[in-house]
Amino acid sequence: MQPTHVPVLLDRVLDLLAPALDKPGAILVDATLGLGGHADALLSAHPELRLVGLDRDPAALARSGERLAKHGDRVHLVHAVYDKLPEALDDLDIDGVHGILFDLGVSSMQLDVAERGFAYRADAALDMRMDPTTGQTAADVLNTYSVADLTRILREYGEERFAQRIAKAIVAEREKEPFTTSGRLVELIYANVPAATRRTGGHPAKRTFQALRIEVNAELDVLTDAIPAALAALVVGGRIVVEAYQSLEDRIVKRAFAELARSRTPQGVPVELPGHAPQLRLLTRGAEQADEEEKERNPRAASVRLRAAERIREAA
């Protein structure tokens, strides 16, 4: 199956980044390049823009490389997880960037290719690695984690109400035969989520698959390190846009932005103390969502939460 990609909130991303990119020598980091939809549009909108595109998925890099080839030597692709952004910029002798984009979560490439094991609606090998060349798979997690650890990741990363029940069932079932495919896991989840719950809130396997994917790819740990590193790479006047698709990601982004957008001068002091002024200006009021028209046109926009900020001061 050929993966498809409709960039989420594309016009809004273009508008938010334009003031920072519409200048000679501007550099944009697309930290989650995927199939390159956002990057292609941004390069087309800004003919002098240089792009550094990161992705941990070699297949996605190859596909986006083909798509972006028309932009020539303005494009630099890097096989790396986005928390390695500082190292990628050092390797390219780049001291600061004007724009940064994160489009988080699972990509179109990973969802649409059933063999990758991300989609619960297709029976496939339980892999879920965003970089299939390294690390443990979802099957490894299911077949080796204790009941306590499985319960923890299902509860924390999937916000699954029946985490312990599902975890116990997984451990019991793997004693009969190790888990290898997603279809068997989906059947187990159906059997352990009450019928009344299955009728509401979407597919009952969604939360478990999300939790496994986050665990396999250490997504929240990586994001916790990556957002401060990205903010530190922004020049004054530079802008960052982050699209998150679940509350755990959005909370990390919100906290990182808020920390640098507040004054650290103690309350009651009549003047701003040197080095204590806000470093960021928030460009969105809370998290923005897609409108109903876009959700209907692009179902993957249904859960997006977009936040953006501009660096207004160097770090103290």
**CA distances from residue 276 to 12, 79, 260, 269, 306 in whole angstroms, order as listed:** 31, 37, 10, 12, 27
Binding residues for S-adenosyl-L-methionine: 36-38, 55, 82, 103, 110
- Amino acid at the residue 282: L
Binding residues: 36-38, 55, 82, 103, 110
The C-alpha atoms of residue 143 and residue 146 are separated, in whole angstroms, by: 9
